[in-house]
Each structure stands twice: as C-alpha cells, then as structure tokens.
Amino acid sequence: MSTPPDQRQYHHGDLRTALLTAADRSVRAHGVAQLSLRDLAREIGVSHAAPRRHFPDRQSLLDALAENGYTRLGERIRAAVASGDDGFAPRLRRAASAFAHFATENPALLELMNAAKHRPGDSPVSRSADTAFAPLVDLIREGQDRHVLRAGPFEEIGLILYATMNGIATLINNGLVDATRLDDLTAAAVNQFLRGAAPHG
C-alpha cells in the first residue's frame, strides 16, 4: 500500500519548509553569499527548478528567512522580559542580553535581517520586524509609566536601544570585537543607556 521507503515521491510534501530549513543550515554554515538554490534542491532531492514554485527568486527565500528570524527574535525578547517579575532594570538587561545572544548565535541571520531591503510601507518582512521591536518599546513605555525612566518618546528610545544592541552584535559577528566581550559590552551598554556617560547633576 504505502510507497516503498526509499522511492522518491513525485511530490515532496512540504518543500517550502524543507527549503527554509536547509537554507537556514546552509547559511549558518557557509554564509549568505554562498547560498545556492540548486544546492538546496540537490540536498533535499528535488529538481533544480522545484524551489521556484515556492520562492520566485533567491531573494524571496532570503526574505522568508529574515522574516522568520524577526519572529523568533521577537519571541525570544518577549520571553526574556516575561521570565521573571522582578524590577525594571533586570528585565531590561535580560531583554538586551536576549537580543545579543540571538544575534551572535545567528550571525548570518542577523545579516539577512539587516540587509533585507525593506520596501517602503509594509512588506511581510518589515511587519515581522516591527513585531520584534514591539516588546522592547513596550518595556520602555512601562519603565516610563513606573517612573524608572524619564518620560520621553518611547518609540524613539526603544529604537536607539535596539540600534545599540544591533551594532554591538554586528561588531562581534564580523570579528571587529572579540566575541568574549559580548556580555560585558551588553551590560555596559545597558548601564550607559540608563545612567548616561556624563557625571550626574
């Protein structure tokens, strides 16, 4: 009844997912530039043109990866923030740390997320990016509500924090800064963010 185990079926079943999985692994191992659609097809065992049914071109595969990345990043930040009912500062630190580790554990993905040419207005990618921003912005707003942060444009402030963490991860991922400094830099960035570099009044 059932097809012989090692006989290739005409239809793969879930090629799209298989492609994304294989692409993620390939990109992780060899970098974005090396990713080849034909390679993926070979690895999965389908013809070289099969991926085209799911991703019209190379970039759309990369976009899907990036989108997925933003989603996972958002979840991770959310989880970090929610993983304890302690004070504001510890939660902020956990959020920053979550970002930092996600970004350095997935260097190629971060590159993809940053490089995905986000069209004006809303593409799926930039919408998922907003989803990743959100928990950070929410956290800032909460800090302001609790008067642990000065009042101010929370979206802008969240953006700056996000940018800082993104920048740190970029420096580390490209070897401009030693990876062992990740946690120190993250902690220092959060401190900097909270109390500033100038001496107090």
Question: Can you give the binding site for DNA, defined by CB under 7 A?
Answer: 8-13, 15, 35-39, 41, 46-50, 52-54, 56-59
Interacting partner of 150 out of DNA, its own copies, none (Cβ under 5 to 8 A depending on kind): its own copies
Report, in Å, the least distance between residue 22 CB and DNA: 13
Could you tell me the two tokens for 90?
Answer: 């510890």
Give me the sign of the Cα torsion angle 108, 109, 115, 117.
positive
Task: Report the distance separating Cα 190 and Cα 88, nearest Å.
Answer: 12
Interacting partner of 57 out of DNA, its own copies, none (Cβ under 5 to 8 A depending on kind): DNA
**C-beta of residue 144 within 8 angstroms of C-beta of residue 154:** yes
Q: What is the DSSP letter of 34?
A: T
Of the two residues 38 and 181, which places its CB atom closer to DNA in the complex? 38
Task: Report the distance separating Cα 23 and Cα 65, nearest Å.
Answer: 8
Hey, how many other C-beta atoms are within 10 angstroms of the C-beta on 145? 12
Of the two residues 9 and 180, which places its CB atom closer to DNA in the complex? 9
Rule CB under 8 A: say whether 156 interacts with its own copies: yes
Of the two residues 48 and 117, which places its CB atom closer to its own copies in the complex? 117
Beta strands in the chain, from DSSP E residues, in sequence order: none
Report, in Å, the least distance between residue 106 CB and DNA: 21
Task: Report the distance separating Cα 94 and Cα 150, nearest Å.
Answer: 20
| Secondary structure element (H or E) that encloses residue 129, with its range | helix 124-145
Interacting partner of 119 out of DNA, its own copies, none (Cβ under 5 to 8 A depending on kind): its own copies
**C-beta of residue 102 within 8 angstroms of C-beta of residue 124:** no
Of the two residues 52 and 127, which places its CB atom closer to DNA in the complex? 52
Report, in Å, the least distance between residue 38 CB and its own copies: 17
Rule CB under 8 A: say whether 80 interacts with its own copies: no
For its own copies, the binding residues (CB under 8 A) are 111, 114-120, 126, 129, 140, 143, 147-150, 152-153, 156-157, 159-160, 162-168, 170-171, 174-177, 184-185, 188-189, 192-201
